[in-house]
Chains A and B, each alone.
Chain A
Amino acid sequence: MDFFNSMNVSASALSAERTRMNLISSNLANANTTRTPEGGAYKRKDAVFAATPMRDSFDKVLNNAANRDIRQVKVMQVIEDQNPPRLQYDPSHPDANAQGYVALPNVNVVEEMADMINTTRSYEANVTAIQAAKGMAMKALEISSK
C-alpha cells in the first residue's frame, strides 16, 4: 500500500518537529539558568535535521520509482549555540565572575517564540498531509461503491 509510505514520511516529520519542540521548551525554561552540570551558563540548543532515504528493504526501494526519491526526516544531532553568553553586572550573585559579571544564557526569548510558531505550523502541515493521504485512500475505496 503506497499510501503507507507517504504516511511514514509524514510520521518521521512529526517526530522530528516534536524533538525540536522539546528543545525549544528546554531553551525557554532555561532562559535564565546560570548553572549547568557541564559548567557555566546554559547554552541554547538546536536540532540538525537530515534527509534520509526510506528504511525499506533495498530492492523494494530501488524497484519502485515512486519511492526512490522520497526522503524521511531525521534529527541527526543536537548542537549548542556557540554565541557568547549575555553578561550582566551583578556582583552579589553567587555565580558572578571576578569582575562581577554574571553569564546569562544566550537565549533570545522572542526568537524562541518565533521558532515555536514555526515548529507548530510545520507539525500541523504534516498532519494535514497525513489526512490528505488518508482521504485519497478512502476515495480510492469509493470506486467500488455505487
Chain B
Amino acid sequence: MEIKGIESGLGIGKVFSDGGAGKIAAPAEGAGKFFNELVSKVNDLQVQSDKAIQGLASGENKNLHEVMISMEKASISFQFMSTVRDKALAAYQEVMRMQV
C-alpha cells in the first residue's frame, strides 16, 4: 500500500495544482506581487480621476458625468483594496496567534 500525501489522496492537490503550484512554492512572493499589482491599478484609477477633475476645472473636459464616474471607479477600487488589506492583516494576526 502506497502512502500518499493527504493532498493527492483527496484530490485537493489536483484542484489547485495549476494555479497553486507557483503559490505553494513561494506564498509570500505571490501574495506580495498580487498586492503590488492591485495597488498600481488603484493608483492608475486615482490618477485618471485626478486628471479628469483637473480637466473639468480648467474647462477642457466638458463631460461632468465622465468625471463623476471616474471618481466613483477610483473610490470603489480603493475600498476594495483596503478590504483586501484588512483580510490579509487578519490572516496574518490569526497566524501569529497560533501557540507554538
Which residues in A have some Cβ–Cβ distance to B below 8 Å? Answer: 1, 3-4, 7-8, 10-11, 14-15, 18, 127, 130, 134, 137-138, 141, 144-145
Known: A7-B73, A134-B76, A137-B76. A15 touches B65 (CB 8 A): yes
Main secondary structure of the interface of B (DSSP, over half): helix
Nearest-CB residue, chain B, relative to A11: B69
Flag whether B87 is at the interface (Cβ < 8 A).
yes
A-side contacts of B66, CB under 8 Å: 11, 15
Contacts A/B (CB < 8 Å), 27 sampled = A1-B73, A1-B76, A4-B73, A7-B69, A7-B72, A10-B69, A11-B65, A11-B66, A14-B65, A15-B65, A15-B66, A18-B63, A18-B65, A127-B65, A130-B69, A130-B72, A134-B76, A137-B76, A138-B76, A138-B79, A141-B76, A141-B79, A141-B80, A141-B83, A144-B86, A144-B87, A145-B83
Known: A141-B80, A141-B83, A144-B86. A15 touches B63 (CB 8 A): yes
B-side contacts of A11, CB under 8 Å: 65-66, 69
**B63 and A1 within 8 A (CB):** no
**A144 and B69 within 8 A (CB):** no
**B83 and A144 within 8 A (CB):** yes
